[in-house]
Amino acid sequence: MSNETPAESRKARAARRAGEFPPPPEPLPTPVIDSHTHLDITLNEGGTDGPDSVEAAIALARQVGVDRLVQVGVDVDSSRWGVEVARKHPAVVATVALHPNDAPRLPDLDAALREIEALAAEPRVRGIGETGLDTFRTGEEGRAAQEASFRAHIGFAKRYGKPLVIHDREAHTDVLRVLDDEGAPDTVVLHCFSGDAEFARECVRRGYVLSFAGTVTFGSAGALREAAVVTPPDQLLVETDAPYLTPTPYRGRPNASYLIPLTVRALAEVKNVDLAELCAAISATGDRVFGPW
């Protein structure tokens, strides 16, 4: 029985539910990796009835077949925090970076980049990102700083032999241009892949890894599902980007690593492949990209 009053509007009901984490889905037959999550933001801003500590987030994810997490840095503080979490928890590895939308706002970009470079040498840091380009939120006035930051991160990835984790929002052509200019690292991961099948084919041809988030389950994401179809299993990862991009049927509510099975099952259906086989491929790709946990 609903406890909503008749006078309560749909908007009010949606706002009230937005802070509630969804229930755990059916476990996966084979464990997989969450290749991109923000545990710090999830714990601080997520909502109710969900994980309330790093330990709880790891345990809840493990119960549904998500046994490894990549904690992603977006600034100096979150990158430092991620390194500390990865040192304490064997299920977690970290990436470090300045988010492309933050780079133009920093009072001293060079100093921040030096701190990220120092963190990049840490053994539990297994990637450089999320870095990249975003022409959706950053206007022309910030593009030069954003691109300079991206180029610096590419250098860190090559210098330390670690994968580059790219944030690409409405900047496909420019992302490829900068990678070509600088020379791409051995391993490139396009986080929350947002391109169509044509762009996916180009990235696959270059050997890049495409990481799909809950957006692939959205009703309006037909082009993204077509991109997933043309992505080989050994170049495919899955992620939450938690606490954002919660898969359907819980879109709009907080996300966390334990909801990965919803996205994996959607991908298996879209690609018309066996679920257990897809899980095994995702797991193997995660180990190849980020190394042994």
Q: Is 38 annotated as a binding residue?
A: yes
Q: Which of 231, 241, 171, 239 is nearest to 206 (CA)?
A: 231
Q: Which amino acid is at 198?
A: E
Alpha-carbon distance 97 to 149, whole Å?
A: 9
Alpha-carbon distance 263 to 25, whole Å?
A: 11
- Classify burial at 191, counting beta carbons within 10 Å of its beta carbon; exposed 0-12, middle 13-18, buried 19 or more: buried
Q: Is 172 annotated as a binding residue?
A: no
Q: Is 166 helix (H, G, I), strand (E, B) or coil?
A: strand
Q: Is 167 annotated as a binding residue?
A: yes
Q: Is 196 annotated as a binding residue?
A: no
Q: Cα 247 vs. chain centroid, distance in angstroms?
A: 13
Q: Is 117 annotated as a binding residue?
A: no
Q: Which of 162, 72, 182, 183 is nearest to 120 (CA)?
A: 162
- Classify burial at 148, counting beta carbons within 10 Å of its beta carbon; exposed 0-12, middle 13-18, buried 19 or more: middle
Q: Is 84 annotated as a binding residue?
A: no
Annotated binding site: 36, 38, 130, 167, 191, 241
- Residues annotated within the binding site for a divalent metal cation are 36, 38, 130, 167, 191, 241
